[in-house]
A and B are shown apart, each in its own frame.
Chain A
Amino acid sequence: MDVVVVNDGSGDNTQFEAERAGFSTVNHAINRGLGAAIKTGIEYAKEKKADIMVTFDGDGQHDPSDIEKIIWPVFQKKADLVIGSRFKKSKNVPLDRFFLNWFANFITLLLYGVVTTDSQSGLRTFSQKALNVVDFKGERMDFSSEILLEAKRNNLKIAEVPIKAIYTEYSRKKGQKNLNAIPTFSRFLVRLLR
């Protein structure tokens, strides 16, 4: 197993601390956005010929013990892409997040025809097949829905597994900002209409 930290242009000690802990790091010289960072992780996994890849947000909102749950469907060959859904068993989700996510899911359904309970989740598992076929253009938050569209376009099996979401003040501060939804949504529309 290889743990890689994609440092998306952080000027703090992220890279140093990750390496001190013994993990590989891939460092973007400048900040390119969440989608770009995930894609770099995917490229890294492809280079290493990984059988399976898990994306895990660095803001402390995921529980590492959920990884086992979300890789299981891929091991069982029941899915190529597993989304860890924070809302499937929604408890303790702040109301604003609940509505924002509902809106994102609705737009994903409307534009892409994909039903999901958590289109924006950062905890995902990709099978090798998914790694090789999923290609997305979104470089910021808008890539999340695009992954689902790509999966659908390539006839990948998608599964959702309920996961825990840890909403601390830190994770909320580091995660998607509510107001980001507007530019994210507009960029998403422009890409669709272009």
Chain B
Amino acid sequence: MGFQIVTESSRQNTNVVAGCLRSWNPKAVVDVLEFRGETTIVVPRELLRATAERCREDAKLQYNFLTDATCVDRYPAEPRFELNYHLVAIPRREKVRLRVWLGGNDPVVDSLVLVWPGANWLEREIFDLFGIRFTGHPDLRRILLPDDWEGHPLRRDYPVEGYRDVPNTGELFRKSSTP
């Protein structure tokens, strides 16, 4: 089963999730996307925490497991940050992706630690590597990089080889582009 197109069951799951969320709050679903049998629900930023809570509590949805959270930087497009939360309903064996768009000048979103404590390190990783701030996070510190690191390396405008100094100045690597 290496190859999954949009199947009957994935279409059905999309309808169930979108229908449930729409009947709860019509504003919670901005867009519904399907690609390769995966369902993506685009959620407005203000409603992320409430929607996530709904996904977990609704008896028809039962998305009790937050498996992953990650960010994609679409620089130079705006809004540039795309946050993806991957949820699994262990009893129903279904997955869904919640997506929130964030602008580059104000990358702030509600933390999901109150809904799933497991979001703690996932959000710290996103904060560390993308510089997105999560309001209500109990412990928002860098996790993989040193505390004094400058910049957020997984942003698209951060060079892959890091900031390198001009040659012949005696310095090989420098963490920041500022002199």
Q: Do A and B bind each other?
A: no
Which residues of B are at the interface with A, using a C-beta cutoff of 8 A? Answer: none
Which residues of A are at the interface with B, using a C-beta cutoff of 8 A? Answer: none
